[in-house]
Amino acid sequence: MVFEKGPIMRANTNWFRDAKWGVFCHYLAADQLTPEQWNAQVDAFDVKALADQLESAEAPYICLTLGQNSGHYCTPNAAYDRFVGIKPSKCSRRDLVADLYDELHPRGIELLVYLPSGAPDRDPVAMEKLEWKNGSQPNYARPPHGLDAEGRPWGSVNPANIEFQKKWEQVIAEWSKRWGAKVRGWWFDGCYFADAMYRRPEPPNFASFAAAAKAGNPQSLVAFNPGVLVPIISMTEHEDYTAGEISRALPECSSRWVDGAQLQILTYLGQNWCSGEPRFSDELVIAYTRYVNSKEGVITWDVPIEPSGLIPEPFVRQLRAIGKSV
């Protein structure tokens, strides 16, 4: 199955701009967890307690990871199980996304989700069954002259991963159709091989990728992450907002739009992604949030999250400081 998309029509991002800021959480499984252990962890996730924390911070939205490199996902997916065939499934029995939505929605807090663009690279069975092959020339490392050491166009040796992408879009579409308007946006990580995988006239391509994510909600916002790049770029006309991943630097912003996509910046409040103690003072975090907002941009702050679903208290206090000041 290949997802076709009609004329390009980006989703309306006004609600996102008006939100101004939000929260990101990497809720992930340790590689060694068995499916039974992962189910027990997901079952114990306290969605009410997390929603209470977000409400106390006046956070307009949260973006939650569905999974990442271990091959564990916090929501069931029959298409994934059909392709990968691991039994018992490493997709949780509980649909954590749906349950979290049920707690967030009455409080007016929106929900977005994160998913890698590739197969889980620490799960060799999934890598094989999904037919994923890593490239060696990521777009973020492209030299200024655009050629590799052999004089070939940069990225020309990367695999197209056509069969993988066809499968992955079916996995994404199943989730999108199940959740519908409950999920307001998607953030796709690791789109490092864009020229080989997505910049082609025929699907699968960026258009079909976006169409799969919007299968259940045409107004869902989509971003594709090229890696840590400053200045922030938009990868394609088929994304609605910028992935905007940054690390150590807090870059300048020019305006709301980056080649037609809503400006959004994603970085972490801890010492690194989802870890450590707060690295910034409240004053700096508030000032930078206000600065991004002054350009009609949006900023998303990553914070650690415990297996129970709770954000550590030092970060809750800092999120509350943002919420009271923005």
199-229 residue pLDDT tens: 999 999 999 999 999 999 999 999 999 999 9
Asked whether residue 3 carries a pLDDT value surpassing 70, the answer given is no
- Per DSSP, which regions of 35-84 are E strands? 61-65
pLDDT of 32 = 94
For the chain, give every domain's residue range: 14-325
pLDDT of 276 = 97
133-151 residue pLDDT tens: 999 999 999 999 999 999 9
Asked whether residue 5 carries a pLDDT value surpassing 60, the answer given is no
Instruction: Dihedral sign for Cα 44, 47, 50, 52, please.
Output: negative
Considering the chain, what is the average pLDDT of its residues? 96
Does the domain at 14-325 match CATH 3.20.20.80? Answer given as yes
Cβ proximity of 310 and 53 under 8 Å = yes
57-111 residue pLDDT tens: 999 999 999 999 999 999 999 999 999 999 999 999 999 999 999 999 999 999 9
Asked whether residue 250 carries a pLDDT value surpassing 60, the answer given is yes
Contacts of 113 (CB under 8 A, 6+ apart): 63, 64, 65, 66, 97, 175, 183, 185, 186, 187
Euclidean distance between CA atoms 276 and 20, whole angstroms: 25
Q: Radius of gyration over alpha carbons of the chain, in Å? A: 19
Global pTM reads: 0.96
Q: How confident is the model at residue 248 (pLDDT cuts 50, 70, 90)?
A: confident
Q: Which H/E stretch holds residue 264? A: strand 264-268
Euclidean distance between CA atoms 60 and 225, whole angstroms: 22
Do the bridges between strand 185-189 and strand 221-224 make them parallel or antiparallel, or are there none, so unpaired? parallel
